[in-house]
Chain A
Amino acid sequence: MNEELQLALKIKQVLNHGTENLNPVMARRLFEARQKALAAHSAPVAGLSLAGFGGFLTDTFMHRGRTFLAGVALCAGVIGTYYWNQFEQARENEEIDSALLSDELPPEAYLDRGFQAWLEKSSQSSE
């Protein structure tokens, strides 16, 4: 193991020597690549944050804010849909009621069994 390590360290020295004598064009290219990478390194300063108590509040609540807002939006949607359906139902009932009331036929007629029987009979005879 010791021999292995010694050989590895000697190889490392030789390899390091090689990197020191890298051709200038490639060294320049690597330097430019590094500058480009550093220009892209904007993540840590991209968002400003508050210090002290404000920072604590931000860290504690704002990180979960999106999930919370999505949950609130979902609940609001479900409740809204429920009430909207109720309004729709009420409007339909209202239309039926007004149709019944405005009709020449009195609403009581629909509850009369004799009238139902007469309707069936007259429809069969018309066929």
Chain B
Amino acid sequence: MALPLLIANSRKKPVKGQKLATRNELSDFLAGVERRAFKQAMFAVREEEAAADIVQDAMMKLAEKYGGKPLDELPMLFQRILQNTIRDFYRRQKVRSTWTTLFSSLSSDEDEDSDPLETLSAEGLSNALGSPHGSLEQAQVLAIIEKEIEKLPTRQREAFLMRYWEDMDIAETAAAMGCSEGSVKTHCSRATHTLAAALKARGIEL
């Protein structure tokens, strides 16, 4: 499991001379990362309120448990906490949906044929059809890119965002994801190819 790795890393005593993060540095770090973290959570859970809650939880955990860590360890630790918090949200949602399904199957059989995934893909399709193929406004390009990033497999999306958006190096990304550096390279490469193909298919050239 990857979690013990985090604990082992985080309990590691700081190297002598390594500067520990002060309150102001932690504040600056969080201010710099909070919006990107919110977007990352949005890509994963697709609900604004839930995404904001996830970011808040991740910030609290970082400040409470790892606030005194060296400044250069914070990005990796924060990403690790953020991804774990997102996974916790998925787990809770899964349990909730299991109970909801159970109760709804007991109570009524209405809307039996409706599938949320179908609605989602139809939404994506309507967006694609509605978007012009020529020169798009930046906001529209952003919306399309965000949609395509949402569609990426979870691990590819995590690796791509940490590596290229958070500017973490391969080793840091691997440590945050709890996988090998080779896996990070593969995930990043696949994610970039998928995004390139998707943008090309929509006639977008960056």
Contact = CB atoms under 8 A, between A and B. Distances in A.
Contacts of A17: 138, 142
Contact of B145 (A4, A14, A36, A37): A14
Given A7-B192, A37-B62, A19 B35 contact: yes
Interface string B173-206: 0000000000000001100110110000000001
B56 A15 contact: no
Nearest to A19: B35
B113 interface: no
Q: State the majority secondary structure of interface residues on B.
A: helix
Contacts of A91: none
B142 A15 contact: yes
Interface stretch (B19-27, B84-92, B98-106, B122-130): B19-27
Contacts of B20: 44
Contacts, number: 101
B76 interface: no
A4 B142 CA distance: 18
Contact of A9 (B39, B164, B193): B164
Interface residues of A, number: 28
A37 B164 contact: no
B64 interface: yes
B189 A4 contact: yes
Q: State the majority secondary structure of interface residues on A.
A: helix
Contacts of A44: 20, 22-23, 67-68
Given A14-B141, A22-B38, A38 B52 contact: no
Interface of A: 4, 7-12, 14-15, 17-19, 21-22, 26-27, 29-31, 33-34, 36-38, 40-41, 43-44
Interface of B: 20, 22-23, 26-27, 30-31, 34-36, 38-39, 48, 52, 55-56, 59-60, 62-65, 67-68, 138-139, 141-142, 145-146, 149, 160, 163-165, 188-189, 192-193, 195-196, 206
Given A4-B188, A9-B164, 17 more contacts: A4-B189, A4-B193, A8-B188, A8-B192, A11-B206, A15-B142, A15-B165, A19-B39, A26-B48, A30-B35, A33-B60, A38-B23, A38-B26, A40-B64, A43-B67, A44-B23, A44-B67
19 contacts: A7-B206, A10-B206, A11-B145, A11-B206, A15-B36, A15-B39, A18-B146, A26-B48, A33-B52, A33-B59, A36-B56, A36-B60, A37-B63, A37-B64, A40-B64, A41-B26, A44-B22, A44-B23, A44-B68
